[in-house]
């Protein structure tokens, strides 16, 4: 019983003790309810590197009790909604449209909460069933994470995971624009997502501005470069592409790419009022 950190520990320990134990999970945060409770990933940070150690070992059963959400504050609810919209957006325009129709914001009503969890898990189920071990389609669920993890770590975790992923998706939009990956449909779709995220994050706006004002972008870039998803000669990231869909993209590790990545961070934060 617990959120993401407890789940990571439980997944890993149950997978290695006595060569694997059957276990049952009761997610207690909205983020774990909408996302991590299915799929079976464990991820453990090692020596400053994010999610460096882990495996895939799903629970035998998952029981979701929405009453846990009554104990959660704005940051936790918003973080769960960020991951939910990310999954639905990654699944495609139809799922994204259906998600937005739920009008999911903080404070979250119990009825809407149930609908959000169901929509997110149904969309994630598709990814898991066709790519359980994270080799192709499921990689799209890393959307916002490569840019976001760098912010999370650079802020010494003053920026929570959910907020960092939301900001990371905004940065991904800017970077995709800079390198010409989106068509007009993609630009409209990603703008709709960014507008939703800005509205979703509005209760946390002042603390986000404060945290970002204390971050050095050179440190952010250093953390970005250390992401485990990159290849030896290329940065890898999920970007908005054509027709409102996402695509796993790569770019060479050179000074030109670094300048564009730094520019994407700056433009995203300026465009949405988080920096002045």
Per-residue pLDDT of 11-34, as tens digits, reads 999 999 999 999 999 999 999 999
Give the confidence band of 213 by pLDDT, cuts at 50, 70, 90: very high
CB of 31 within 8 A of CB of 25? no
Cβ count near 83 (within 10 Å): 26
Mean pLDDT of the chain: 96
> What pTM did the predictor assign?
0.95
* Per-residue pLDDT reduced to its tens digit, 186-197: 999 999 999 999
Percent pLDDT > 90 in the chain is 93
CA 133 to chain centroid? 18
Res 45: pLDDT: 84
Per-residue pLDDT at 5 = 86
Mean pLDDT across 106-123? 98
On the question of pLDDT at 169 being above 90, the answer is yes
Examine the pLDDT at 48 and tell me if it is beyond 80: no
Q: Where are the domains of the chain?
A: 79-271
User: Was domain 79-271 assigned CATH 1.20.1090.10?
Assistant: yes
- Of the two residues 51 and 80, the one the predictor is more confident about is 80
Cα gap 79→38, rounded to integer Å: 17
Confidence bin at 46 (pLDDT 50/70/90): confident
Strand 61-62 and strand 24-25: the pairing is parallel
Give the pLDDT confidence score for residue 38 in this predicted structure.
96
Question: 169: which 2 tokens?
Answer: 């998706």
Instruction: Among 38-42, 47-51, 120-124, 218-222, name the one with the lowest average pLDDT.
Output: 47-51
**pLDDT at 124 (0 to 100):** 98
């Amino acid at each position: 019983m617990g959120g993401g950190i407890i789940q990571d520990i439980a997944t890993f320990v149950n997978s290695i003790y006595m060569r694997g134990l059957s276990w049952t999970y009761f997610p207690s945060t909205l983020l774990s309810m909408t996302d991590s409770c299915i799929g079976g990933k464990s991820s453990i940070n090692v020596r400053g590197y994010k999610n460096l150690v882990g495996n895939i070992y799903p629970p035998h059963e998952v029981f979701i009790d929405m009453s846990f959400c009554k104990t959660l504050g704005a940051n936790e609810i918003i973080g769960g909604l960020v991951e939910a919209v990310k999954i639905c957006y990654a699944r495609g325009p139809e799922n994204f449209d259906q998600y937005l129709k739920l009008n999911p914001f903080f404070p979250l009503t119990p009825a809407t909460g149930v609908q959000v969890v169901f929509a997110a898990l149904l969309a994630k189920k598709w990814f898991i069933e066709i790519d359980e071990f994270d080799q192709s389609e499921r990689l799209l669920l890393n959307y916002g994470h490569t840019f976001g993890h760098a912010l999370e770590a650079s802020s010494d975790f003053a920026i929570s995971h959910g907020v960092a992923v939301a900001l990371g998706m905004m940065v991904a939009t800017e970077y995709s624009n800079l390198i010409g990956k989106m068509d007009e449909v993609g630009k409209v779709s990603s703008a709709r997502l960014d507008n939703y995220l800005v509205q979703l994050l509005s209760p946390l706006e002042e603390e986000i501005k404060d945290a970002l004002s204390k971050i050095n972008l050179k440190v952010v870039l250093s953390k970005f470069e250390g992401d485990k998803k990159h290849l030896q000669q290329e940065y890898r990231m999920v970007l908005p592409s054509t027709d409102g869909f996402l695509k796993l993209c790569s770019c060479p590790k050179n000074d030109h790419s670094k300048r564009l990545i730094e520019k994407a961070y700056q433009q995203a934060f300026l465009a949405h009022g988080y920096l002045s």
